[in-house]
Structure 1
């Protein structure tokens, strides 16, 4: 499943960043330097990973990277296939160590299917604060927990995957942005959204999964509608773990970084 792959990779990505094999490093560098990868704004992603220390917040870097990504044209299926195949080939050892089955055909197909919805979700913007939703949710989380440095993001995702209490209050996660995210996810990937409906409704209320977009949320992804819409909250499933509103905050962030 695409989201299993993405969350697993995201959760361990920072932890193994300094111990990648030379083959994997080459694959990532070559992908970032490829003109075909422009649609993912790789320069912004590299800057995010390279310039952030283990004590500074990743939020400014995430905002810069996503702002650039959302202004780029959509990746084509052929581009996604090339990028994913190259990374799987070069980083097969690292991915296998994370428990990811490196069946390139299956992963490419699922990524191609999920990419439009994920991109739409990552480019949602709160017009009341003029802020992209992912950085806004990260800021809420940071204000309620601790500085979201690279190391702390790894620790947070580890808790999510193991089902531990993250300490993120519902007040930080149950916002118009997360309601919008759920609506987008339910429209594009209803099977994924359905696994989280119950836990999300119990945490934020049934109005968060009613399919209605909240006011003040705008889709900013290039080549998509620029009209302001109303939305719902995103909850992802990793294996048998169902993630509610508090989980979507951190998962959205790490997923964005390693989408």
Structure 2
């Protein structure tokens, strides 16, 4: 979960830094103006990360985004399919380095539709009043004695051993995340269970959720066509960039969870 989430943030930084083709810009504008996508992903809240510089702190923005994302209805399969198809078709050239293109849209759509509910549950776990992703990011900041920014998040991807320590990975939050994955996709959990046990303990992988953990994701799915579009042209491109990164990041979750 942790590795997949940092990849999502890194992709947001990558996408925002690129020179986007005219065709892709038009596609992103279309996607950004899709009210259904905006309503279930809350992408506008991530704009400070996408439009920021290398020293932009990420934790406050992530916390704000997750608060809105978890309180919004989940994306419907129809909305997910529309996002993936539009982005991979209209931005095929721009996304070629990520391995996403129009020919992979069907497979990517199926994967995201399958794993999106699990990813959403993991992202919306809370301990007390604190979102578990935010808590984990705060723990990483304590570990590195500094503020997480776009720049050092990308650098941490090249040296994950610096943050994959027991005080970060063996928390009640990540035990709960593992339990969610065990319940929803046991085959995936089994693949990294031995590694988790060796770093934490056997009880960590027993499939139970600590009593301090709760689920904040709204148990509701958005109905396609039920939202009002946001036609603010000043934010269209930024929202589109976030959606592009989110599609790639969710794909990363399915491969790395």
- TM-score bracket, normalised by the shorter chain, equals 0.7 to 0.9
Q: What is the 5 A alignment of 1:19-34? A: 19-22=18-21, 23-34=23-34
Residues 9-58 of structure 1 show CA distances to partners (whole Å, capped at 9, x for unaligned) of 654441342114233344334322210111001211234422x4311320
For residues 257 and 107 of structure 1, the distance between their equivalents in structure 2, rounded to whole angstroms, comes to 9
Q: Does 1:177 align with 2:173?
A: yes
Q: Give, in whole Å, the separation in 2 of the partners of 1:62 and 1:10.
A: 9
- What SS does structure 2 have at the residue aligned with 1:94? coil
Aligned to 1:105: 106
**Deviation of 1:99 (Å):** 3.5
Q: How does 1:22-61 map to 2 (within 5 A)?
A: 22=21, 23-37=23-37, 38-50=39-51, 52-61=52-61
The correspondence for 1:192, drawn from 176, 188, 194, is 188
State the Cα deviation string for residues 70-105 of structure 1 (Å, max 9, x = none). 111111100110011111112222332134465111
Equivalences for residues 177-256 of structure 1 within 5 A: 177-223=173-219
Whichever of the two has the greater Rg, that structure is 2
Unaligned 5+ segments in structure 2 are: 221-244, 251-257
The separation in 2 between residues aligned to 1:199 and 1:5, in whole angstroms, is 17
Distance 1:179 1:257, change over 3 A: farther
Q: Higher relative CO (CA 8 A, sep ≥ 6), structure 1 or 2?
A: 2
Mark the runs of 5 or more structure 1 residues left unpaired by the alignment: 225-253
Q: What is the root-mean-square deviation in Å for CA atoms of aligned residues?
A: 2.6
The equivalent of 1:133 in structure 2 is 132
Residues 170 and 203, structure 1, Cα contact 8 Å, conserved in 2: yes
- Asked if the contact 1:24/1:91 (under 8 Å) is kept, the reply is yes
Q: Distance in 1 between matches of 2:140 and 2:216?
A: 23
